[in-house]
Structure 1
Amino acid sequence: MGCKDCCGVCLQCLFGYETNVMLVINNKALGALFRLIQLLIISYVAVYVCWIQRAYQETDSVISSVSTKVKGNFLTNSSTEGVHVWDVPEYVVPPQGENSFFVVTNVILTPGQTQSKCPEIPSESTKCDSDSDCVAGHNDVHADGVQTGHCVQYSDTIKTCEVQAWCPLENDGVIPKPAILGAAEDFTVLVKNNIQYPKFNFKKRNILHHINSTYLKNCTFDRKTDPHCPIFRLGNMVKEAGEDFSVMALKGGIIGIFVDWNCDLDFPERFCIPKYSFSRLDNKNPENNVAPGYNFRYAKYFKNNENVETRTLIKAFGIRFDVIVFGKAGKFNIVPTIVNLGATLAFLSLVAAVCDWVMLTCTKDRDYYAKHKFIHADQKGDSMPLSSMETGSYGTP
């Protein structure tokens, strides 16, 4: 082939135009592969993209507010407090929480504390034999007060350093068992939850339209018989979280109340309802049980008959309930619908390319198929297979 012919072929390639030619091949394996890939793509789009992911919808995340109200009371009779009725202001501490509430289930009481001097609780760092073992003004973060520099009798056999503190000191070495407020499992809590999806101007609360005052006073949440009641028994929530309330009440813990507001707003508003579930959130791994449970201290202050400030120190063990609201709403929108239809068509267009590659690479008649797939047409209306172009002739090579 001369230089002139080469230039002609190059110009022909540069200014040529390619168009698809329909080539029907009677190959069952290739036809089955073509239909199988199409079926997989259509199934993926119909089942996963449209049904599961709802990719034809515009979505918005939930905005939520929560308030709670606990009810119940319990009577105890102990050597420290005597007969005592515990009501909501005493066992719900603090009275208002942000998306959470704490219920006292066990306590260690230290009544009648005043600002005075007393021997420290025995430990390796507080035991002493003489005043020289104690340092006046020494303040250890793990101690109960500031040392006075004196070594005093704690018991008949033990001496400890004297401290200036709230005396008598708390001794929390023994936790009451069973839990003093173990009957708290029968207490109930009303969870009021308001949600909105701003993008769709949609607002709702978990007290549904069919719930009236009479119903609310008598219902208790039950997953099978009354799944829409917003009043929960504490013992039932702990049980659904897979825990034993009597065991958890000893040292306390944290329970999550999960409120799921996933809604499909293409359906009527009445179908958008909350779903509740419960789980323990704090760590109870027996291999890592340092500082288990949940507890804190608070005090009740008053003046005694001698007008001396006095307090009752309370180390409260209990269960903190965290209300966790989550959800996503979707509604049909033409933009994501068009985007996903375009993606589907793009996937389907790749099926032919994949099958062409298999046909021209993996089949035994690949040379024959290639000869008929690529055809060149000149301006005179004549045509030839691509193999004839490669030989520079319009005839048989």
Structure 2
Amino acid sequence: MGLREFIKEYFLSFWDYETPKVMVVKNRTLGFIYRSVQFLVITYFIWYVFISQKAYQESENRPESSVYTLMKGTAVHGDDILDTVEYAQPSEGGDVISTILRREVTYDQRHGTCAEYFKVANANCTTDSDCIQGEVNFDGHGRRTGKCIQYYNHTFKTCEIQTWCPIEEYAVVREPPLVEAINFTVFIRNSIHFPRFKVLRGNIKDASNKRDMHRYLTKCRYDEEKEPYCPNFRLGYIADQARENFSELCRTGGVIGVFINWNCNLDLDPSNCKPTYSFRRLDLRKDQASSGYYYRFAKYYSKDGVESRTLIKAYGIRLDVIVHGHAGKFSPIPTIISTVTAMTSVGICTIICDWIMLTFIDKNEVYSERKFDEIIKEPTVSMPTELSYISSFGSNHSDLSDGVPL
């Protein structure tokens, strides 16, 4: 067959009409497979689509959320009494709050000239010519003066710089960790609004008056079973739930995510819409360069008429509060769409059984001959006997048994 004839035949066959043909196959094995696959498909859709995924509901996944956090607690650190102003940054805030667990302090820094840290690139020198005046190394601490001086009380020399002196690496004082912080609490207030359904919920237990509410919030501590509506979380509890060692967090710091999940079935009373909490370490512990959590800040003052500062490098826990919400409610449109989809998917049973019938059963040639018919209507000839036989059933109906075709 040439290319022209092939294209012509393909073009003409494109306009053929195909219609299903009903054929009853009296084969118990094939019938058992057919009904079993039907049962499995229907069961899957009922369980997964309607029960698990609740496909009969209209849903909303982008709620409006508000978060307020507050750190609470008092600790004795040497001769100092620390409150939230000392160890919480900020002491109250939004969806991010941190607490200081360990400090490295550099006291009495002043503007002046001193030796650069010896581990900074090209900081070591032997003569003044090794130090370029005015050069600034952005990995270092200041601007070079062009002099090569002794590195504090050591025998080697580094380039002199203009900066806050003495530099942190030389004069830092490492304080012991604030172990009492394990009993600090963080207050997390979260409200969530599903505008499509006009539902507003909060994570704090309702009370009849402000006095009862204040008394409850002062004493309660969150517990998944006993106090699911208490918004006060111990730092020790958060670390345990995130599977972290609190002593290690005191040494390196860390970022922990507090995940608040609202999964609300609004076919029930809105009071059943309750939050669930989960906790997970967010910074990469395996990557030493980016693991842990710390930040620097300074306290400025005037000493003998000269501006001075105390530089503090603070290690601690940063809590990132992340809110997820999903709400669903019955709606006829998704119910109809899901039902039609489920009914349509039952058609896969016929496809599977047809494949088995035409491939594996012994009499597949007999089934194939009955399964596919090609009917050509001749305009000058009356209806063929075979076509009259088929039409007499109204729906192109034929019957096959395990033996001779009927």
Return the TM-score normalized by structure 2: 0.80
1:136–1:41 CA distance, 2 compared to 1 (3 A): same
**Matched residue type, 2:298:** A
Task: Measure the CA separation in 1 of the matches of 2:66 and 2:329.
Answer: 23
Aligned pairs, how many? 363
Task: Measure the CA separation in 2 of the matches of 1:16 and 1:57.
Answer: 39
2:231 — aligned with what?
Answer: 230
2:159 — aligned with what?
Answer: 161
2:95 — aligned with what?
Answer: 99
**Matched residue type, 2:389:** M
1:224–1:137 CA distance, 2 compared to 1 (3 A): same
2:313 — aligned with what?
Answer: 315
Contact 1:176 / 1:250 at 8 angstroms: preserved in 2?
no
Task: Measure the CA separation in 2 of the matches of 1:261 and 1:152.
Answer: 63
Instruction: Say if 2:389 is the partner of 1:384.
Output: yes
Task: Measure the CA separation in 2 of the matches of 1:322 and 1:365.
Answer: 68
2:134 — aligned with what?
Answer: 137
Secondary structure of 2:169's partner? coil
1:156–1:56 CA distance, 2 compared to 1 (3 A): closer
- TM-superposed CA distance for 1:182, in Å, is 2.7
Secondary structure of 1:199's partner? coil
Contact 1:68 / 1:101 at 8 angstroms: preserved in 2?
yes
**Matched residue type, 2:291:** P
Task: Measure the CA separation in 2 of the matches of 1:74 and 1:278.
Answer: 25
1:30 — aligned with what?
Answer: 30
1:378–1:352 CA distance, 2 compared to 1 (3 A): farther
Task: Measure the CA separation in 2 of the matches of 1:47 and 1:143.
Answer: 63
Contact 1:374 / 1:385 at 8 angstroms: preserved in 2?
no
1:199 — aligned with what?
Answer: 196
Note the residue ranges of structure 2 that are not aligned, 5 or more in a row: 1-14, 376-381, 392-406
Task: Measure the CA separation in 2 of the matches of 1:16 and 1:245.
Answer: 74
- TM-superposed CA distance for 1:267, in Å, is 1.2
1:298 — aligned with what?
Answer: 297
Contact 2:21 / 2:371 at 8 angstroms: preserved in 1?
no
Instruction: Say if 2:348 is the partner of 1:343.
Output: no
1:3 — aligned with what?
Answer: none
- TM-superposed CA distance for 1:301, in Å, is 1.1
Contact 1:372 / 1:385 at 8 angstroms: preserved in 2?
no
Task: Measure the CA separation in 1 of the matches of 2:43 and 2:180.
Answer: 54
Note the residue ranges of structure 1 that are not aligned, 5 or more in a row: 1-13, 78-82, 387-397
**Matched residue type, 2:271:** R
- TM-superposed CA distance for 1:16, in Å, is 10
Q: Per chain length, whose mean CA-contact separation is higher, i.e. which structure has more relative contact order (CA < 8 Å, sep 6+)?
A: 2
1:209–1:160 CA distance, 2 compared to 1 (3 A): same
Deviation track 1:77-101 (CA, whole Å, cap 9, x = no partner) reads 2xxxxx2222111211234554111
Deviation track 1:343-379 (CA, whole Å, cap 9, x = no partner) reads 1221224434543453344333345556777899959
Task: Measure the CA separation in 2 of the matches of 1:108 and 1:38.
Answer: 69
What is the alpha-carbon root mean square deviation over aligned residues?
3.0
1:7 — aligned with what?
Answer: none
Contact 2:238 / 2:279 at 8 angstroms: preserved in 1?
yes
1:331 — aligned with what?
Answer: 329
Query: Mean alpha-carbon deviation: is it higher for 262-271 or for 149-158?
Result: 149-158
Matches within 5 A, 1:253-264: 253-264=254-265
**Matched residue type, 2:113:** K
Instruction: Say if 2:72 is the partner of 1:75.
Output: no
Deviation track 1:82-129 (CA, whole Å, cap 9, x = no partner) reads x22221112112345541111111111112112122222333632333
- TM-superposed CA distance for 1:269, in Å, is 0.9
Instruction: Say if 2:241 is the partner of 1:240.
Output: yes
- TM-superposed CA distance for 1:383, in Å, is 3.8
1:146 — aligned with what?
Answer: 143
Task: Measure the CA separation in 1 of the matches of 2:301 and 2:257.
Answer: 36
